[in-house]
Amino acid sequence: MRFKVRDILLISSLYDSYILEEDGRLFELIQEEYRGLDMNQAPDIIHVSNGTEAIRILDRQHRFDLILMTLHIEDIHAIALAKKIRSLGHEMPIIVLAYDNIETQEVMTHRDADIFENIFIWQGDYRLLIGIIKYIEDKMNFAHDSRAIGVQGIILVEDNVKFYSSYLPIIYTEIHRQSQRLISEGINLTHKFLRMRARPKILLCHTYEEAWKYYEEYNEYILGMISDVDFPRNGTVESKVGLLLARTIREKQSDIPILLQSNESSYSEEAREIGAAFVLKDSPVLLQELSDFMKQNFSFGDFVFRLEDGSEAGRASDLSSLEETLHSVPAESVQYHGERNHFSNWLKARTEFWLAHKLKPKKVTDYATVEDIRQHVIKVLKDYREIRQRANITDFSKDTFDPESSFARIGGGSLGGKARGLGFVKTLLNNYNMRYAFEGAKIFVPAAVAIGTSVFDQFLEQNNLRELALNSTDDREIADSFHSASYFPPEVITQLREFLEMVSVPLAVRSSSLLEDSQYHPFAGVYETYMIPNNHADTETRLQELLTTIKKVYASTFYKATKDYIKQTAYRLEEEKMAVIIMRTVGAAHDNRFYPDFSGVAKSYNFYPMPPQTAKDGIASIALGLGKTIVDGGNTVRFCPKYPKHLIQQFSTKEALKTSQTEFYAMKLGATEVDLYRDTKDRLIEKFTLDTAEKDGSLRFSGSTYSIENDAVYDGISRAGMRIVTFAPILKNKMFPLPEILDLLLELGKWGMGSEIEMEFAVNMSTPPGKPREFGVLQMRPLVLRLENDALDVTPYRREEMICESTQVLGNGVIDSIRDILVVDYDRFDRARSKEVALEIAQLNEKLVREGKPYALIGVGRWGSLDHWLGIPVRWDQINGARAIVESSFRDFDVDPSQGSHFFQNITSFQVGYFTVPHHAASSFVDWAWLSAQKAEEELNFTRHLSFENPIVAVINGHDGKGVLLKPKPPSKESAVSL
C-alpha cells in the first residue's frame, strides 16, 4: 500500500500552535485546499505542547505518520526530543518548523541536525503544511510508483530554507492544477485516480550529490529539473554548481527540460548556452514564468508542433487532436519533435505511460523515412484509442450505442461516484482481458447510460425546486413536488426515447451523486435505487415511467435521511449534485418475475476473519435473488473467496437451518397500473418463497435439502425434504467459478484503486444453451478502512471496571467523548416488538444529536436488520449520534454481526467503535446488571437513556480486534487535544 500521511503529531508551545492555527482555522483551511485541488481527505492533526505529553501519546498511539515540531517546546529542546523519540523506536519523519533564519541556523549548525527529515520556515502560508505533507509522500512513494507504473519525477534543487519554504507550496499547487487540466473529469474513475496518484512527484534536494543520485538512479523517470545555481557540493556551497549539474545531465539526456533560477542575472547567458531556461528568483512574475515553463517543457499544455526556426505548425490539446494533426503537419516538424522525444514526454505528463513506453524505445534513426515515423505514431495512437473506446464512457448516440455492452453519457457535468466506479471497472476488465478469463463465464459491466449532473441542475432551476428541496423536512412533500414538476430538458428526453427504442429489458435506475463512493464518507445506501420492468409495448409509456423514476432518484437527494447523514460529514447539502445511471438488470424472467439467480457483496478486507482466514483474504455475502436481501441485513451465506468451503454459519445442522434464507426478492413484471411515484420506496420489488425459486429453476444453483428423518442437510435439491439456501452447488461442487472470480477481481480492484474495496455483483446462471453464464459487476467503491497498526493495551482493566469486553471489535484508538448511553433493556426486550424498539431509539437519538451529545448504543440482536426477528431494524439516520455500538446476542442464540450491509459501511466510515458480544464466548460480556442498576435520565418501554458526569471510555485495539467499554470514571491517562 502507498505511504500516505493521515495523522500528524504537532509538538509546539501553545503560542506557536495559535500562530499556526490561523485563529483556529488551520484544519478548515487545509481541508478547503485539499478539496480545491481534488485531493483525498486532509490529514488529522493532534497537538501537544510538551515533550512528556508527546512521548506519552506516541507510546499509546502508534498511528502517526509525521511529526511536526517547533523549537519552542515547554520542557525539552527539539533536538533532544527528536533523539528521545528515535531511541524509543519511532521511525516516522520529523520536520522542524522555524520562524526565521536565526532559528534555522540554530538547528542546521547542530551536530545532530540530521535527525530531522528537513527544516522549513513558517511564513504564514498554511499551504506550506500541504507542501510538507506532499514532499514526504513523494519521497516515500517515488521509488515504487516510478518503477511500478512509470510515474515521473521533477528534481527541485534548492538549499535556501526560506526560499524553498515559500516556493514548495507554489510549485505543488501549480503541479496539481496543471494535472487537473489534463484530463476532463467525465470519462471514468481511472482518470480521477491517475490525477491523484500519477501526477509528477517533486524530489526536493539541497545538494549536488542528492540531485545527482536521483538522476542517476531514476533517469528514465525524470521529467525535468528546476534548480538553483549556487548550492552545496562536497559539503561547501559552490558557485555555478547548478550549471555544472545541468550540463552533466544534458550530456547524458539532451532533451530533458531544465529551469535554472538565481538572483544573479549574469547566469542567464550560460544557462541558455547549455539549453536550459532561466528565471530570476526575485522576478515579480516568477510564478507566471514557472507556470509557462511547466506548460511548455513538462508538457502540461497543448502539444505545439514547431519547425526548426521555432514557428508553430500545428497544435493538439488531447490524444484525438494529436492523432488528427499528425496527418497534416510538415515532415520537418515530425522529425524535430521525434528527435527530442517530445511525443513520449507529452504522453508521460498526461499519465499515458503505456503509450509513452511504446514510443520512447524507438529513435528517429530506426526509421527509413520521416513518413514512417509519422505513420508509426499515428498507428500507436489509433490502436490505443480503439482499446480505450471499448472501456470509456462516451457520449450517447443511437448510431453507436451497443445495447449489450456500451456505457454512454447523456447531458453534461459530472457522472458521479458510482458511474465513475463502473467506468473504472470497465477499464480494468478491458485492459487486462478479464471478460472471458474463466471458462463458461462472462465478466462484464451491464450496458447503461448515465445522466450528468447538469441535467439535475436544470431540472431544479427550471422547476424552482431548490429552495423547497433544501428546506423541507417532509419526504412526501418533496416527492410530490418533484413528480409534478413539468420541465425536463427536451434534448435529454429525445435521447432517452432513443435509448428505450433499443432497450426493452428491465432496468435499474440508480443514484450516482458527486459524493457517492467517496473515500471517507461513501454515502452508501443513502440514496434510492429503483427498478422498472420496461416491458410495455408503447415506448412513450415506458419513457414516462422512466422519467418518473429519475425524478424519484432526484428527490431522494433531499430526503430527511440524506440531510441527517450529511450533517455528520464535512459536506453541505448545497454542494451535492445527482447524476443517474440507467442500467440493464442482470437476471432472467420467470413467469411474471425478474431476478438474478444470486446477488452479492464482496469486500477485500474482512473485519471478522476466522482461522485459517486472514483479514486480507476478504469476505463475500451472497443471497438468492436481488441484492435487497443483503442490503437490508437479511440472512445470507458469508464466505471467504480463498476458503469457500469454510462456512462458519453452517457448522451444524441447527445453525444451517437458523441462518438459511427463506425468502428472496424479485421484480414484478406483470404490474401495469402501479402508481410509480406514490411511494418513496420501490413498490415493484416483492418477496417470494423458496418454493417459487424451485419452480423457476433458480434454486438448483443455491439450494440444499434438510431431511427431518435424518436431521441432516444434503447438497442439492434432488431429494424430498425442506429446502434451505447454502450455495453448496457453487461453493462446494464448483458449478460456477464464483470464488475464483471474486478473488481475482478483489485483488485487481484493490491494486487499481490503491485501497481496500467493496464490490456489488449479480450472477445470471439461466442463460440460453451455448451462452456463458453472466457475472455482472454492479458497483465498485473504496472501502473505508481505518484499522491502524496500533497495539493499544486493553488487558490492564479489571472486569468490574468494564461495561463491556469483546474480542470482535471494529475500530481503533481511544474514544473518550461519551457521557451518555442508550441501552435496550435486556430483561424487557421482546423480539416480536423490535420495531417499537427502533422507534424509541430514533426518538432518543434525535434528542441527543440535537443536544450535541455523542453516546454509546447497547442492544441485543443484529443492528440494522430489517428482519425484526434477527435484531433491531434501525436505519443509520436513527442512530447516527452513536460513537460506540454494542451488539449482544439474544439469550437463546447468537446472530452474525452486521457486516455486509450499507448500514455497516456507514458505521465504519464514521469511525464508530463496534463491539460484537456473542452469548457463549467466555472472553466477551456485557454487564447488564450494572446497566440495569443505573438511574435513567429517561425511560421508555424498552429503552433507557443513562447520563453520567464523567466520560465512558472505549479502548479498542484494532490490530487484535479486542476492545473494552469502561464504566464512567476519569481515565488515568491524559487525552490529547485534536485541532
pLDDT tens by residue, 178-194: 666 554 433 444 444 44
Examine the pLDDT at 764 and tell me if it is beyond 50: yes
What pLDDT does residue 544 have?
A: 95
Residues 605 and 676 placed together within one structural domain of the fold: yes
- Tell whether 284 is covered by a domain: no
Least confident residue range of 155-164, 241-250, 358-367, 408-417: 358-367
Least confident residue range of 258-267, 569-578, 677-686: 677-686
- Tell whether 251 is covered by a domain: no
Alpha-carbon gap, residue 57 to 54, rounded angstroms: 5
Residues 716 and 757 placed together within one structural domain of the fold: yes
Residues 576 and 617 placed together within one structural domain of the fold: no
What pLDDT does residue 655 have?
A: 80
Examine the pLDDT at 903 and tell me if it is beyond 90: no
State the number of CA atoms in the 13 A half-sphere of 435 facing the CB: 11
Distances (CA, A) of 96 to 68, 70, 112, 137, 528: 6, 6, 13, 17, 49
Average pLDDT estimate for 636-640: 92
The total of structural domains in the chain comes to 4
C-alpha cell, 378: 499515428
What pLDDT does residue 359 have?
A: 76
Residues 385 and 490 placed together within one structural domain of the fold: no
Average pLDDT estimate for 772-778: 97
- Tell whether 216 is covered by a domain: no
Distances (CA, A) of 392 to 183, 382, 424, 753: 13, 15, 9, 17
State the number of CA atoms in the 13 A half-sphere of 699 facing the CB: 25
Which residue in 915, 904, 841 sits closest to 633, CA to CA?
904
Average pLDDT estimate for 262-289: 90
Q: Please report, to the nearest 10 degrees, the dihedral formed by the alpha carbons of residues 920, 926, 930, 935 taken in order.
A: -130
Examine the pLDDT at 409 and tell me if it is beyond 70: yes
Examine the pLDDT at 718 and tell me if it is beyond 70: yes
Examine the pLDDT at 351 and tell me if it is beyond 90: no
- Are 845 and 820 contacting, i.e. CB atoms less than 8 angstroms apart? no
Which residue in 85, 290, 71 sits closest to 170, CA to CA?
290
| Mean pLDDT of all residues belonging to the chain | 85
Least confident residue range of 20-29, 360-369, 428-437, 513-522: 20-29
Alpha-carbon gap, residue 933 to 931, rounded angstroms: 5
Q: Percent of the chain beyond pLDDT 70? A: 84
Query: Can you name the residues that pair with 590 across neighbouring β-strands?
Result: 593
Residues 385 and 529 placed together within one structural domain of the fold: no
Alpha-carbon gap, residue 794 to 132, rounded angstroms: 35
Alpha-carbon gap, residue 195 to 191, rounded angstroms: 6
Examine the pLDDT at 893 and tell me if it is beyond 70: no
Alpha-carbon gap, residue 827 to 54, rounded angstroms: 46
Alpha-carbon gap, residue 145 to 948, rounded angstroms: 51
What pLDDT does residue 792 have?
A: 61
Sequence-distant (6+) residues with CB within 8 A of 516 are 416, 417, 418, 522, 523, 524, 526, 527
Residues 419 and 507 placed together within one structural domain of the fold: yes
Give the model's confidence band at 844: pLDDT under 50 very low, under 70 low, under 90 confident, else very high: very high
What pLDDT does residue 109 have?
A: 79
Examine the pLDDT at 1 and tell me if it is beyond 60: no
Distances (CA, A) of 498 to 503, 536, 861: 9, 15, 49
Distances (CA, A) of 875 to 545, 572, 661: 28, 21, 21
Rounded to 5°, angle at Cα 842 from 837 and 845: 125
Average pLDDT estimate for 644-664: 86
Residues 930 and 877 placed together within one structural domain of the fold: yes
Give the range with max mean pLDDT: 121-125, 548-552, 968-972.
548-552
Average pLDDT estimate for 908-926: 79
C-alpha cell, 514: 458527486
| Residues constituting the chain | 979
Examine the pLDDT at 622 and tell me if it is beyond 50: yes
Average pLDDT estimate for 632-657: 86
Which residue in 573, 569, 571, 568 sits closest to 854, CA to CA?
568
Average pLDDT estimate for 552-556: 93
Examine the pLDDT at 390 and tell me if it is beyond 80: no
Residues 749 and 804 placed together within one structural domain of the fold: no
What pLDDT does residue 44 have?
A: 81
What pLDDT does residue 564 have?
A: 83
- Tell whether 180 is covered by a domain: no
Average pLDDT estimate for 537-541: 94
pTM given for the model: 0.56
Residues 724 and 805 placed together within one structural domain of the fold: no
- Are 716 and 700 contacting, i.e. CB atoms less than 8 angstroms apart? yes
Query: Can you name the residues that pair with 952 across neighbouring β-strands?
Result: 818
Alpha-carbon gap, residue 325 to 378, rounded angstroms: 10
Distances (CA, A) of 9 to 640, 713, 758: 37, 56, 31
- Tell whether 501 is covered by a domain: yes
pLDDT tens by residue, 65-79: 999 999 888 789 899
Examine the pLDDT at 151 and tell me if it is beyond 90: no
Beta strands in 585-701 (DSSP E): 588-590, 593-595, 598-603, 619-624, 637-639, 663-668, 685-689
- Are 445 and 777 contacting, i.e. CB atoms less than 8 angstroms apart? yes
Beta strands in 720-842 (DSSP E): 722-725, 757-764, 773-782, 802-806, 808-810, 813-824
pLDDT tens by residue, 47-59: 898 999 999 999 8
The conformation of residue 767, written as its DSSP 8-state character, comes to: P
The residue among 585, 607, 625 that closes a domain is: 585
Query: What CATH number has the domain bearing residue 426?
Result: 3.30.1490.20
What pLDDT does residue 671 have?
A: 56
C-alpha cell, 308: 526548426
Alpha-carbon gap, residue 607 to 605, rounded angstroms: 6
Average pLDDT estimate for 477-487: 94
Strands 703-707 and 712-715, sheet pairing: antiparallel
Alpha-carbon gap, residue 276 to 312, rounded angstroms: 21
Q: Percent of the chain beyond pLDDT 90? A: 49
Least confident residue range of 203-212, 613-622, 843-852: 613-622
For residue 325, give its domain range: 303-389
Residues 665 and 698 placed together within one structural domain of the fold: yes
Percent of the chain that is helix, strand, coil (3-state, to 5): 40, 25, 40
* SS3 at position 646: coil
Average pLDDT estimate for 22-35: 57
Least confident residue range of 5-9, 282-286, 463-467, 731-735: 282-286
What pLDDT does residue 600 have?
A: 96
pLDDT higher at 8 or 792:
8
- Are 562 and 571 contacting, i.e. CB atoms less than 8 angstroms apart? no
The residue among 537, 564, 585 that closes a domain is: 585
Residues 552 and 422 placed together within one structural domain of the fold: yes
What pLDDT does residue 878 have?
A: 93
Least confident residue range of 120-134, 445-459, 516-530, 576-590: 516-530
Examine the pLDDT at 687 and tell me if it is beyond 70: yes
Rounded to 5°, angle at Cα 369 from 363 and 370: 70
- Tell whether 282 is covered by a domain: no
Examine the pLDDT at 909 and tell me if it is beyond 60: no
Strands 925-926 and 598-603, sheet pairing: unpaired
The residue among 782, 816, 840 that closes a domain is: 782
C-alpha cell, 468: 423547497
Q: Which residue has the cell 436431521?
A: 711
* SS3 at position 541: helix
Give the model's confidence band at 392: pLDDT under 50 very low, under 70 low, under 90 confident, else very high: low
Least confident residue range of 481-485, 646-650, 660-664: 646-650
**HEC string of 659-688?**
HCCCEEEEEECCCCCCCCCCCCCCCCEEEE
- Say how far residue 358 (Cα) sits from the centre of its chain: 31
- Tell whether 57 is covered by a domain: no
- Tell whether 556 is covered by a domain: yes
Give the model's confidence band at 935: pLDDT under 50 very low, under 70 low, under 90 confident, else very high: very high
Other CB atoms within 10 Å distance of the CB of residue 616? 14
Residues 650 and 572 placed together within one structural domain of the fold: no
